[in-house]
């Protein structure tokens, strides 16, 4: 069996570290790794599957060593400059930034939902936004059976999604040192702003959820609105998703539809207060759904509470799963 060479760009970040952990757990046919970050991290040593690897400064020559795949988690500017170089050197790039996501020739992929799109790549495959990824599993399950008509997203997003500096702000409970990431304290607060504001009054994060959902589900005209909020939770995003359906449903069938979808776990028993929670989703690769109830304000509607580890399923694990499926396809 072929052994693969993998480059990890942004290896020192929260997502990059998680990528290394997930790769170690999954035991794929990997011969060696190359770890890359900014010059300030060069020389840092990480161990993967018992072997030590030294972080190198990312340069235009970084991809000259015959890597098969490069997983990028180093932001949009780095992806914009270096992903095309990696592709030109023969790598398949899986990029976690938003830079390529809406490009027509770049597939945007959640493996359980639209893996087939990944097979039509031209060198770059985009990993969707963390808050989009977890919503896709229950929405795809419902769309296949009942056809989704309209979606209302309200998110409760963890601080880890904003990177290392954001976690530092969460620990700043007395406000005694200057904030590094957020415009206001996140400790003991909720910020109804994730990313910058657009001309239409939505944030970029909200518009990402709207556009990415349409692209992944292949429903360019789907009616969607979103409010995304940063909450003082360290890790794992929670989302309230209100869905209007074209077809009528029996609740029992709908629950079965959700439960049967790959990597979607139904936690839905109000009699024992069983519902998804961030503290239980941490460290897991599945998406959890619960609080499933009929929305009586429309003819066929349902409310869902959806939780997942935003660093794992929302970023690192999703990227590794894409790579794993491509590897299995080539072997
Ligand atoms: P570094 O740690 O050397 O700054 P996070 O989102 O958790 O802050 O992580 C961002 C990741 O992207 C880090 O690994 C960071 O490396 C890396 N990164 C940021 N800018 C660059 C760049 N210009 N070139 C290479 N890696 C970068």
For 21-65, what is each residue's pLDDT tens digit?
999 999 999 999 999 999 999 999 999 999 999 999 999 999 999
pLDDT digits (tens, 9 = 90+) for 300-319: 999 999 999 999 999 999 99
CA-nearest residue for atom 24, ligand 1, is 38
Return d(Cα 185, Cα 325) in angstroms, integer: 41
Check residue 28 and give its pLDDT. 96
* 130 classed as catalytic: yes
Q: Establish whether residue 75 lines the binding site of ligand 1, counting it when its CB lies within 6 angstroms of any ligand atom.
A: yes
Check residue 330 and give its pLDDT. 77
Give me the mean pLDDT over the 72-76 stretch: 97
Quote the pTM value.
0.97
Beta carbons within 8 Å of 149's beta carbon, 6+ residues apart: 223, 244, 245, 246
How many angstroms separate the alpha carbon of residue 169 from the centre of ligand 1?
18
pLDDT digits (tens, 9 = 90+) for 146-191: 999 999 999 999 999 999 899 999 999 998 999 999 999 999 999 9
- The burial class, CB within 10 Å (0-12 / 13-18 / 19+), for 178 is exposed
CA-nearest residue for atom 18, ligand 1, is 74
CA-nearest residue for atom 14, ligand 1, is 10
């Amino acid at each position: 069996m072929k052994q693969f060479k993998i480059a990890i760009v942004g290896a020192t970040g929260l997502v990059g570290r998680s990528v290394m952990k997930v790769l170690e757990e999954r035991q794929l046919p990997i011969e060696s790794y190359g770890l890359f970050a900014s010059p300030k991290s060069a020389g840092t040593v990480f161990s993967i599957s018992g072997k030590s690897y030294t972080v190198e400064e990312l340069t235009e020559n970084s991809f000259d060593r015959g890597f098969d795949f490069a997983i990028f988690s180093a932001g949009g500017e780095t992806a914009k400059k270096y992903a095309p170089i990696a592709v030109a050197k023969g790598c398949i790039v899986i990029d976690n930034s938003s830079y390529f996501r809406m490009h027509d020739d770049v597939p945007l992929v959640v493996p359980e939902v639209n893996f087939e799109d990944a097979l039509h790549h031209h060198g770059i495959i985009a990993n969707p936004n963390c808050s989009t990824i977890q919503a896709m599993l229950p929405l795809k399950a419902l769309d296949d059976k009942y056809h989704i008509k309209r979606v209302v997203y309200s998110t409760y997003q963890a601080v880890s999604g904003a990177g290392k500096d954001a976690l530092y702000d969460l620990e700043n409970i007395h406000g005694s040192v200057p904030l590094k990431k957020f415009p206001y304290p996140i400790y003991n607060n909720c910020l109804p702003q994730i990313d910058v504001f657009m001309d239409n009054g939505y944030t970029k994060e909200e518009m990402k959820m709207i556009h990415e959902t349409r692209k992944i589900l292949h429903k360019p005209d789907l009616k969607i609105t979103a409010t995304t909020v940063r909450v003082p939770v360290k890790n794992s995003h929670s989302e309230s998703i209100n869905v209007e359906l074209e077809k009528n449903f029996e609740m029992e069938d709908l629950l079965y539809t959700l439960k049967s979808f790959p990597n979607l776990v139904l936690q839905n028993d109000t009699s024992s207060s069983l519902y998804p929670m961030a503290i239980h989703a941490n460290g897991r690769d599945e998406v959890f759904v619960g609080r499933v109830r009929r929305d009586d304000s429309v003819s066929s509607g349902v409310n869902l509470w959806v939780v997942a580890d935003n660093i794992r399923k929302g970023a690192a694990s999703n990227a590794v799963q894409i790579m794993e499926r491509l590897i299995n396809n080539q072997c």
